[in-house]
Amino acid sequence: MARIEHVVVLMLENRSFDSMLGWLYPEHSDFDGLRGSESNPWHRQDGSVERVPVWNDNSISADAACIPNPDPGESFDDMTMQIFGLSTDGTPRMNGFVDNYMRQPAAEKPADPRAVMHAFVPRQLPVLSLLARSFGVSDRWFASAPCETWPNRLFVHTGTGGGQANNAALQRPLILPTVFQRLARHGRRWRVYFHDVPQTAALVSLWPYLPSCFRFFAPDFAVDAANGTLPHYSFIEPRYFPNQPLNRIPNDAHPPHNVAYAEQLLADVYNAVRGGPAWQHTLLVVVFDEHGGCYDHVPPPAAIPAGLAAPNGFRFDRYGPRVPAVVVSPWLPAGSVIRPPANGPPFDHTSIIATLDRLFDLGAPLSPRVAAAPDLLAALTLARPENGGPDRIDAAVTEPDREEMQAARGRSRNNYQRRLMWPGALMAAGAAHAAAHVHRAWHRTNTSPAAAGLDHNAGRRAAGRR
């Protein structure tokens, strides 16, 4: 088995597989992407029906990088319509994307029915596409549930959806066992690297670890990678909000955020890992939490239920649509199309937990979904870490101009951003910010952790007391 000592996960926001990688290998018969003939019906109010095809105009403009605009629907009910269409026979035909988009409440501008059928081509996403081709891509990675961001992000941390199907309905506080605690109990180090508001900090069980395990992405991730001090597990959260004082735009790729900023983030993550001394023993996974209402043509299969049923009765017994998933490691053959074992479950976010479980022998699975999930280690088939990939990737540096910054600040917050403003999440985020600032000050002044108010063992001691 490949010698992997570090797992790095970058989870971005709300794009389907087809929308980001569907045209990666248009001529490959063993790659389940787009062929250009896919379409969705649009049932107009006058009773007529129009077919809306997948499309791309090859533009690299800022407007093209923000499609779909406005944001598609992503609630459980929205996704149900997207997957099953207007039919009530229970067959997932993936033909309700346009109808659902055109039934959304009025937004900043009239909705173009073609927006959710847009799919980027590789030249528009050069970083993501280059990494997928240089290492591997999975066309069988589904969101853990046909739900919004919060339940799907909970799956990657806890192996369940927290018993809720939508962002707004999540229980408060979030008290769930996590893979982070299991890593700590087995002597494995972990960190969350974040930009602004770390959603992970909303998990109450992680609050004792805020001083020791939460760090700013910049510059700490690159510094840790360069020093060879990345933990066994690094989870990276993008920037979710515009920051006018710092002139920063969200880089999470959440529609209608400009995907160019997510490309820059991805290049930064790769360059840090690739240039560090631990490169030969690192597995980098780039994945999106859910499809965000963007079109995908593959029906999600049934899933093993995990955790409590949602208030609407959903038992988490089916996956959400496919999401982009790129796997990077020198142990992975270039051009790999990564699929799970035949006749078994597909990859989903619990595959990350399953991979950590197998690597670090973390004990009994967190949930039945984790127990069944395929891990990624079987894809690392090279006898030696000989796939160096690109030495580095230089993304086109994009700085927002005044008009773009003002537009970002004036845009209504999406449902995920509104949920991040929950007081408990903000309080935890504030504590994570304070700890990260203290850590930064400690390194600048060479002050001891205790004198700087930073106790690296607080989380572990608190975990031992529980």
Residues 201/210, Cβ–Cβ less than 8 Å: yes
- For the chain, give the percent of residues with pLDDT over 90: 74
Q: What pLDDT digit, counting tens, does each position of 98-117 carry?
A: 999 999 987 667 789 999 99
Residue 384, both tokens = 């030696």
What phi and psi, each to the nearest 5 degrees, are found at residue 114? -80, -15
Residues 463/184, Cβ–Cβ less than 8 Å: yes
pLDDT, averaged across the chain? 90
| All structural domains of the chain with their residue ranges | 6-435
Which of the residue ranges 32-41, 59-68, 409-418 has the most confident prediction, judged by mean pLDDT?
32-41
Write down the pTM of the prediction.
Answer: 0.92
What does the radius of gyration of the chain's CA atoms come to, in whole angstroms?
21
CA–CA separation, 134 and 115 (whole Å) = 29
pLDDT at position 402 is 82
CA–CA separation, 65 and 253 (whole Å) = 9
pLDDT band at 170 (very low <50, low <70, confident <90, very high): low
Q: What is the dihedral of CA 216, 220, 225, 230, to 10 degrees?
A: -60
pLDDT band at 175 (very low <50, low <70, confident <90, very high): confident
pLDDT at position 150 is 92
Residue given tokens 């009239």 in the structure block: 110
CA–CA separation, 72 and 115 (whole Å) = 9
CA–CA separation, 323 and 84 (whole Å) = 18
For residue 247, pLDDT beyond 90 = no
Q: Could you tell me which of 130, 124, 127, 126 has the C-alpha nearest to residue 61?
A: 124
- DSSP character string of 273-304: HHTSTTGGGEEEEEEES--TT----SPP-B--
Amino acid at site 301: P
pLDDT band at 450 (very low <50, low <70, confident <90, very high): very low
For residue 465, pLDDT beyond 80 = no
Residues 240/416, Cβ–Cβ less than 8 Å: yes
Q: Span 250-271, mean pLDDT?
A: 96
User: Domain 6-435 is in which class?
Assistant: alpha beta
Specify the 3-state DSSP secondary structure of 136.
strand
Residue given tokens 């229980």 in the structure block: 171
Q: What pLDDT digit, counting tens, does each position of 330-343 carry?
A: 999 999 999 999 99
Taking the CB of residue 109, how many other CB atoms lie within 10 A of it? 8
Residues 362/187, Cβ–Cβ less than 8 Å: no
Q: Span 187-193, mean pLDDT?
A: 97
